[in-house]
Amino acid sequence: MQTLPGLVVTGASGRMGQMLIRTIAASDKARLAGCLERPGHAWVGRDVGECMGGGPLGVLVTDDPLEAFAQAQGVIDFTAPAATVAFAALAAQARAVHVIGTTGLEPEHIAAIEAAARHAVIVRAGNMSLGVNLLVRLTQKVAQALDADWDIEVVEAHHRMKVDAPSGTALMLGQAAAEGRGVTLEQAMVSGRDGITGARERGTIGFSAIRGGDVVGEHDVIFAADGERIVLRHLATDRTIFARGALKAALWGQGQKPGHYDMMDVLGL
Ligand SMILES: NC(=O)C1=CN([C@@H]2O[C@H](COP(=O)(O)OP(=O)(O)OC[C@H]3O[C@@H](n4cnc5c(N)ncnc54)[C@H](OP(=O)(O)O)[C@@H]3O)[C@@H](O)[C@H]2O)C=CC1
Ligand SMILES: O=C(O)C1=N[C@H](C(=O)O)C[C@H](O)C1
């Protein structure tokens, strides 16, 4: 009998960490091989199921990433940029597929991830849901079909605890709009307007962020012209959509060649 791929979840106590643990524990395609938290965290050394307020899952939370990764075929990582860069090097060393959901990554973090992807499979996306990845494709197509008479604005809303803006998803959507229009996002991006900004510059792609309450994630791409507007919208109401996507990515990554992949590769979009 073949054993199921073993997956480690980093940031086990986080919003996404707990969602991922539940999703993997309920899956018949993978097994929970480990759970990671920071040294000194109250969960370290305890059964993760009991930490989450349920029955035991038979997996103790560890603070030793190398030991955990060495016994796994995949690592699912929704934490913070510095942690993700460190985990990328360790997962590559262990030849485990590294699925990265962490957002707020700066160019230097991405360069370090690219370096790790020379030796191992990394799947990274600012949003792992099927719906958003489809919306990314639609955004690219709509932007391609319209000229710069149509102003493009990306508006996103998230819960009060989110630490980065624009969201990873907003950046994916902005990137797709820029590609569709044949410009670079770096050239076109205008973020966080405030004060006397002057009139909107033709051809720019604007970003606005709202933070409050428990909003899981909402994204609009607005194409606004004289006399009409097109609004492409995705509303996330449950974090399981991200966890299911991440699990799919970890399974898809098994047996792939080393490289830096995204959810478009996984979903075949
Ligand atoms: N790509 C996607 O589909 C999605 C991406 N995300 C992204 O995932 C990330 C996490 O989101 P969320 O779960 O809401 O955030 P949380 O703050 O709830 O969880 C983050 C977890 O990572 C842990 N962590 C941070 N740094 C380290 C470290 N150095 N070593 C070990 N653990 C660490 C935190 O521990 P501590 O509390 O001790 O700091 C915490 O448990 C964010 O970047 C978010 O934008 C979220 C949803 C979907
Ligand atoms: O932090 C979150 O919660 C989310 N982060 C991702 C992002 O930055 O786009 C994905 C999702 O919107 C939830």
Distance from residue 33's CA to the centre of ligand 2 (Å): 25
- pLDDT interval class at 183 (50, 70, 90): very high
pLDDT at 267 over 70: yes
Q: What is the strand order of the sheet 217-225 is part of?
A: 189-191, 205-211, 151-158, 217-225, 228-236
Residues in CB range of 178: below 8 A, 6 or more apart: 143, 184, 185, 187, 188, 189, 205
Distance from residue 10's CA to the centre of ligand 1 (Å): 8
Question: What does the pLDDT read at residue 1?
Answer: 60
Nearest to 205 by CA among 227, 182, 226: 182
- pLDDT interval class at 104 (50, 70, 90): very high
For residue 207, the surrounding DSSP H or E stretch is: strand 205-211
Task: Establish whether residue 133 lines the binding site of ligand 1, counting it when its CB lies within 6 angstroms of any ligand atom.
Answer: no
- Closest ligand to the CA of 104: 1
| From 41, 109, 162, 260, active-site residue | 162
Question: What does the pLDDT read at residue 127?
Answer: 98
* Domains delineated in the chain: 6-124+239-267 (3.40.50.720), 130-236 (3.30.360.10)
248 has catalytic annotation: no
Task: Establish whether residue 169 lines the binding site of ligand 1, counting it when its CB lies within 6 angstroms of any ligand atom.
Answer: no
ipTM above 0.95, yes or no: yes
Average pLDDT for 4-13: 98
Question: What does the pLDDT read at residue 11?
Answer: 98
Q: Are 92 and 119 in contact (CB under 8 A)?
A: yes
Cα separation, 61 vs 3, in Å, equals 22
Does the pTM exceed 0.80? yes
